[in-house]
Amino acid sequence: MERGVPRRGPRPGPRHRARGARPPRGRRALSRGRSPPRRPDPLRGLRARSHRRRRGRRRGGRRVSAPHVVILASAGTGKTYQLSGRFIDLLLAGAAQERILATTFTRKAAGEILERVLERLIEAVDSPAERAALAEGRAFGGTFDGEQAQRLLERLAGRLQRFEVRTIDSFFVTLCQVFGTDLDLAPTWALADEYALSALREEALSRVLAEADEQDFADLLRELSAKGAAARRVRATLAEVIKGGRALFLESPAQAWWRVEPPGEPEGLAEALAALEGADLPRTQAGGVMRSWAGARERLVAHAREGSWLEAVKGGFLQKYLAGEECFDKKPIPATLVPVLDVLREAAAHALLTRLDERNRRSRELLERYERVLRALKRERGAYAFDDLPRALAPIETGASGPIEERDLDLSLRLDARIDHLLLDEFQDTAPVQWRVLGPMAEELAADGTGGRSLFCVGDVKQSIYGWRAAEPRLLEALGDALHIEPTRLALNYRSSPVVLGALGRVFGSLGENAALAADGPGPLMLAAERFTATFEEPRAARTLPGAVELREAGGGRARGLEGEPTLGDRPRRGARGGHGGCPARGHHCRPRPQPQADPRLDRCPAAQGAARQRRGRQPARGLGGGAARALAPAPRRPPFRSSGGLPPDELSLRGSPG
């Protein structure tokens, strides 16, 4: 009998057992001199791990006690600790676990949240210190005793199937399953793998080509081939436009494609070209016109009369003038050319922006046609991608009504539970289309002032890794202002030593002044580094842990410690052939193994020696050499992962297939 569970009914015995009935299994075992079988404890492993972690487990730095919370915290500062504490706080306050939704981005992260909640509850049963730590950060209650923690743990463990900690993709899958007919999805559908989706895209493109009018395609290709790509195949040209523009098409309203407003065509272009041909250009000491200026004028006039304005503005003194420079080939641009160049600038702007506007219109027509065919194909085959689901649920523009709101559909009725508390983990990896689904829910919860509903969000803009899925970390930076919640910042790091954190601050605190990034001038990398530095806060260590740091310079620099002194691995670097810079198994300097004779092929680290000998067939690889040889050999073919939809496990829900 488990502790804390009352026994129901009288104890079974001879008076309460029918005649001839067999005694319970436990009694038969005792009668034969054996111990009764024990019930398996599903929390046994968690109990063992929790007791091993109990000492020194006070985390999180600043305690969070507001009903609506946005936490900005770096790695190691206790984000998962705060989230698990909020979940336990809500459960202790009486919130039904099916009304608490926690979303993250991988099944592993969802499993860690569930494990951390169970571990902390196990600790709270017997540890007054853990109960005090939980009570200190509570927003919906105060202190509690071990019996309350025990009852909560039993209730939670008995209803794990209602524990709503899931990946954001699995939540969207569930919404599309319950609202499938309202969203005009296929009656029966599944998540397709990349091979099936690629085949659908190819078939959609083939149908677009088959259905198009010949004259329309001729006009389209003429506009899309403005970069001299007329010799390319038609299919390759259209595929390139679709690949590069489909994401923009899906994420932007129609009016965004008509924003280009070309200026009017200037008057006097012919006169300006005639004046340019007769203009007096800079001359050499011998009295002749400089060849660079004469050649630039000849090319400019020829391109302008042909209408090749993209080539006309490339190079020459017109490009220098447009860039705001006053000289060309070390000679100042004559003042008499300025009015002529102004007319050429207006003519180039009119021609190029008119072509850009036409290309935008033609591209959108192609993408609209393609997307209509592809959507019909997916509905016909019942095959969708993960990215299709939030787009089916979300409105095109932020603030507009989505399909669920437009049809006044009851979300809580379809989900068999009302979402009263939303916990968003790793919010920096949220894409705009995903936020357009979650945003209305978050705004509704954040507007509640009764305490019965709440919003909890945690993330770190520096840890955004889902850019390949259109993640936008700036959503996290602007979330506090959008929802009128003052962000909480966690600065104490419990994971790393002061030495490691100090090196981190020295490297990234001045990233915007890095000479390697500034070498190419202002650009995306430099702007990103400056923006990163503006919001960077050097973390502080919460505990004194052992650690060591070795900083290295790429491109032949010597290894140096944190204060600049040579480290133990700082040895002279060798040449490209035979130096230890080519070691395939180690990332640091290795002292070459002494050889009885000078052999330049063996003047390497032990790993490279073993790999070289194995390639020559002199001996089988062993030790470091074997590891290097295995690293250099082609990887064995692995069978493809098979799951629901053929996608990797991190894209599936914690609760199973697929929702």
Task: Give the pLDDT of residue 390.
Answer: 92
> Among the listed ranges 2-6, 20-24, 47-51, 263-267, which one has the minimum average pLDDT value?
2-6
Q: Is the pLDDT of residue 33 over 80?
A: no
Higher pLDDT, 552 or 327: 327
**Does position 296 have pLDDT exceeding 50, yes or no?**
yes
Report the pLDDT averaged over residues 619-634: 34
Average pLDDT of span 593-604: 42
Region 319-339: mean pLDDT is 91
User: Which string of DSSP letters, residue by residue, matches 411-472?
Assistant: HHHHHTS---EEEE-SGGG--HHHHHHHHHHHHHHHT--SSSSEEEEEE-GGG---GGGT--
Q: Which residue has the higher pLDDT, 443 or 564?
A: 443
Helix (H) or strand (E) holding 492: strand 492-493
pLDDT tens, 78-96? 999 999 999 999 999 989 8
Where are the chain's structural domains?
Answer: 41-191+393-495, 192-262+355-384, 269-354, 498-548, 602-627
Q: Which residues are bridge partners to 454 per DSSP? A: 421
Tell me the two tokens of residue 654: 């914690």
pLDDT reading at 295 higher than 70: yes
At 445, is the pLDDT very low, low, confident or very high (cuts 50, 70, 90)? Answer: very high
Which of 56-60, 220-224, 465-469, 508-512 shows the lowest per-residue confidence on average (mean pLDDT)? Answer: 56-60
Query: Which pLDDT band holds residue 32 (cuts at 50, 70, 90)?
Result: very low
476-485, 530-539, 647-656: range with highest mean pLDDT: 476-485
Question: Taking all residues of the chain, what is their mean pLDDT, rounded to a whole number?
Answer: 75
Cβ pair 648, 641 in contact under 8 A: yes
> Is residue 370 scored above 50 in pLDDT?
yes
Report, as an integer, the average pLDDT of 628-648. 35
Q: Could you report the per-residue pLDDT of 124-157, keeping only the tens digit for each? A: 998 999 999 888 888 888 888 889 999 999 988 8
Largest distance between two CA atoms of the chain: 131
State mean pLDDT over 150-177.
90
Residue 25 has pLDDT above 50, yes or no: no
259 band by pLDDT with thresholds 50, 70 and 90: confident
pLDDT of residue 518: 77
Tell whether the model's pLDDT for residue 629 goes beyond 60: no
Average the pLDDT over 318-322 and give the result.
Answer: 91
Residue 508's nearest CA partner among 543, 544, 463, 545 is 463
Q: Does 163 have pLDDT greater than 60?
A: yes
The reported pLDDT for the residue numbered 432 is 92
Query: What is the predicted pLDDT for the residue at 321?
Result: 92
Query: Which CATH fold would you assign to the domain 41-191+393-495?
Result: Rossmann fold (3.40.50)
Mean pLDDT of 436-444: 91
Flag the least confident range among 10-14, 268-272, 365-369, 508-512.
10-14
Does the structure show a pLDDT above 50 at 596?
no
DSSP 592-636: PPP-SS--GGG-S-HHHHHHHHHHHTSS---HHHHHHHHHHSPPP
Residue 406 pLDDT class (50, 70, 90 cuts): low
Is the pLDDT at 105 greater than 90? The verdict is yes
Looking at residue 407, what is its pLDDT? 66
- Hey, which residues does 456 pair with through a beta bridge? 69, 423
Mean pLDDT of 115-119: 93
Instruction: Please give the single-letter amino acid code of residue 494.
Output: Y
Look at residues 575, 577, 572 and name the one whose alpha carbon lies nearest to residue 589: 572
CA 100 to chain CA centroid, nearest Å? 24
For residue 517, the surrounding DSSP H or E stretch is helix 515-518
Lookup result for tokens 């002032």: 449
Q: According to the model, what pLDDT value does residue 412 have?
A: 66
pLDDT at 388 over 50: yes
**Is 226 a residue whose pLDDT tops 80?**
no
pLDDT at 466 exceeding the cut of 50: yes
pLDDT band, very low/low/confident/very high, at 624 (cuts 50, 70, 90) = very low
For the chain, the residue count is: 659
Task: Kindly write down the DSSP assignment for every residue of 354-367, as one continuous string.
Answer: HHHHHHHHHHHHHH
Mean pLDDT of 535-549: 87
Q: What is the pLDDT of residue 555?
A: 59
pLDDT at site 594: 44
Q: Is the pLDDT of residue 361 over 50?
A: yes
- The percent of residues above 70 in pLDDT, for the chain, comes to 69
| Residue 538: per-residue pLDDT | 83
Task: Categorize the per-residue pLDDT at 587 as very low, low, confident or very high, splitting at 50, 70 and 90.
Answer: very low
Beta bridge mates, 100: 421
Q: Which tops the pLDDT comparison, 143 or 421?
A: 421
Average pLDDT over residues 64-72: 80
